[in-house]
A and B are shown apart, each in its own frame.
Chain A
């Protein structure tokens, strides 16, 4: 395949300067905050090369294991969660770790570091026994890896004593295993990839911190059942009449990830690699604003290709200019001071205001309020609804069902 034709503008002379987006994180120099998550896109040397050439700052190579580890894949493994015509609003997979064992991955790390010394080459690992975890770490370290990520949270299960359960669902196992890894890693930063499927994410984050590991990757895919064929009753993905739970990724899980990152960042002092549901540059801004230091992409790349990096870097650069920010680090944690527990929220009188010139008369707000809120919107002349402020409590439902940007606003009123 002609590589230049598929991903870049052939021969067009650049007209605009490229803004420097580089910064330090975990003692490493990232040329921008966009890296590839451990996934199919990072399982092949040629693909990672193309990603690096396209402008990605780094990649976490797909999770590897010691030689002899059985990786028994089942196909087909991908499913879409199509919402009202929008394909891959969420993506489900029943993939496992890489079929490439450490011998192959350590060679890939060496090769990539040789060809791309300025890129961040990370590797993701999974093992059962202490000596396996540590041997993976030692071999990757010797190969020159920049960052080691430990998958404690693959929804399809772990290797080892309790294969059906995710390691990161056990506080003690998380702490013990993370300690093994960090012991062997020495100065190479270690990040533990965790799951939001726990009772209290802060407990897990604290366990990782106690272990001495350097960072957390928050968070992995969400265990999900992607759907059921309502005629054959075989759920998706369908493998000759059988199915299994999938790991859900993509835009659908972004709000869950944001909450996970924010909750860790508010309570535990530990660097966070954000991942899970980011697809645009503005998603990265949000991830960083709630505490991520770098943002990993996967589903968006599987959907649209490595070329999305052009918009990620361009969009981020223009955003920084617009905000008069000197660096992406200026975004870091900017949203956290605005987050509070529910009992600490202000209690003001809020009312719905319809900007009538913008109203197109669909009466969606009327219906939503009539059947789903407080019956506070009346049908008005010319199909422009009227809010009855005596009944309106200011819940905000009408604003969000309105199809016109900026038509309904929640306004503050004196008590």
Chain B
């Protein structure tokens, strides 16, 4: 196997692992953000309804 091929395979493996690790973190924190977004908008809607 040539050095160039080994280099790209290592780069590929690191990038793939990084993708899944960041995706995992984003999924977890994103759920909290989603609650913030929908709850905030609900409050906004009810405020507008009351005024």
A associates with B = no
